[in-house]
Each structure stands twice: as structure tokens, then as C-alpha cells.
Amino acid sequence: MQESALRTDDKRLRIENAAIELFLRQGIGGTSVGQIAQKAGVAKGSVYTYFKDKQAIIDQAVLDKTFEVFEYTLQQAPPAQGEDWPVTFCGALIDFYTQNPHILRFIMASKERGVLASYVESGQLSVPQGHFLRRLVGHFCCGEPTRDDFNRMAMALEFVVSSSYYAVVRRQPDDIRVVRPLILHTVSKLCSSR
């Protein structure tokens, strides 16, 4: 890769990281493109070289943070033989969100899009994210993944993220300790319908 391409990738990454940090600290509505540029150490106009508008920054930041959480959770709950791994993974995901409600709020703040499906359809996934997603689907279905397996996994993850948000942040319909077993039972039923 040429030096100018490395600088370009570095600048884009600095913008993304600055946006995530500010969004987590100040909220999406409380963060301007100018603040993101200042935090990233770039001119405001440079931000628009990489992102067409603030919503594009938000979408990329949510996607990156979502994959970061999924990768962390996969490390905490590695696939194992003979267990209901999707339930184990989703349980670890609920535990992460319970301990990090600010990240859950951030991911849900831009909930016009689904956590995974709409990003896949739009082609916004990076190559490493695409590889990770295929690996994750493979773990969910325990074999060669099909379109139904991907849809089942996407539905399970959407359900876990949304249900965790309501239980952790809003305490609806009840506290997460009460609804966690219900969430995991639903995931088990959804994933066992293969």
C-alpha cells in the first residue's frame, strides 16, 4: 500500500474513532461534525471527504462498535462442542450490555437500521467484518451456513440487542435479571428451528 493510501486510511480511522468517543460521551445529538473534526485533528472539510454527512458517520460508528462488541463477546464465549452455543453467545452479549449500558444506548440511538442485515445488504461491511460475520453465522448454525441461517442469526441478535436495551436502560418490561432467561429461551427456540 502506498504512503498516501496509508495516510488516508489513518485519517478516516481517526475520524471514526473520534466520532465514537464523542458519541459515547456526549450522545449523537450533542456531537457536531466540527467537534468530530477537532477531536480527530483534521479540518472539518476533510470529514466530508470520507463521509457524505453526519448520518454516514453515525452509521459507520454504530457498525464498527457493533462488530467490536460481537468480537469481544466471541472471545468471552468461544464456541464449544455439545453446548447450545448461540444461547451462550447471546447470554455473554446480554452480560456485556448490562455492564456497558452506554454502549447499548449508543447502538440503539441509531436504530433506523438493523444491527446486521441492512449493513450487509448495503455493502457497507469491510472485508474483515464480512469474514467475521461468515464465521459467526457458521458458529450459529454449526455447519455450512445458508441464507436462512444468516436470517435466524440476524433475528436472534436484533432481538437480544433490542430486548437488552429495554430491560437494561428502561427496565421494561422488567429488570434484565428477570427477563434474561426469557430472552435466552427465545433465542434457543429460534436457533433450534434449523
Domain ranges within the chain, ordered by starting residue = 1-51, 58-192
Per-residue pLDDT reduced to its tens digit, 58-67:
988 888 898 9
Percent of the residues in the chain that have a pLDDT greater than 70, as a whole number: 85
Given this model, what pLDDT does residue 54 score? 93
Report pTM: 0.84
Given this model, what pLDDT does residue 6 score? 46
Q: In terms of C-beta distances under 8 Å and separation of at least 24 residues, what long-range contacts does 79-82 make, across chains too?
A: 79/139
Answer CATH for 1-51 from 1.10.3720.10, 2.40.400.10, 3.40.720.10, 1.10.10.60: 1.10.10.60
User: Cell 436502560 belongs to which residue?
Assistant: 169
Given this model, what pLDDT does residue 3 score? 45
What average pLDDT does the chain have?
86
Report which of 191, 193, 166, 190 is spatially closest to residue 94, judged by C-alpha positions: 166
The string of DSSP letters for 84-137 reads: -HHHHHHHHHHHHHHH-HHHHHHHHHTTTS-SSHHHHHHT---HHHHHHHHHHH
Report which of 157, 177, 158 is spatially closest to residue 167, judged by C-alpha positions: 177
Amino acid identity of residue 10, one-letter, is D
In a 3-state reduction of DSSP, which class is residue 80?
coil
User: Cell 434449523 belongs to which residue?
Assistant: 194
Given this model, what pLDDT does residue 169 score? 93
Per-residue pLDDT reduced to its tens digit, 21-51:
999 899 899 999 999 999 999 999 999 999 9
Q: Could you give the CA distance from residue 110 to residue 16 in angstroms, rounded to a whole number?
A: 15
Per-residue pLDDT reduced to its tens digit, 135-193:
888 888 766 788 888 888 888 999 999 999 999 999 999 999 999 999 999 999 988 76
Residues in CB range of 116: below 8 A, 6 or more apart: 66, 133, 153, 154, 157, 158
Question: Of 125 and 58, which is predicted with more confidence?
Answer: 58
- The mean-pLDDT minimum among 124-128, 130-134, 146-150 falls in 124-128
Report which of 154, 134, 156, 155 is spatially closest to residue 145, judged by C-alpha positions: 134
Q: Could you give the CA distance from residue 120 to residue 117 in angstroms, rounded to a whole number?
A: 5
- The mean-pLDDT minimum among 17-21, 109-113, 179-183 falls in 109-113
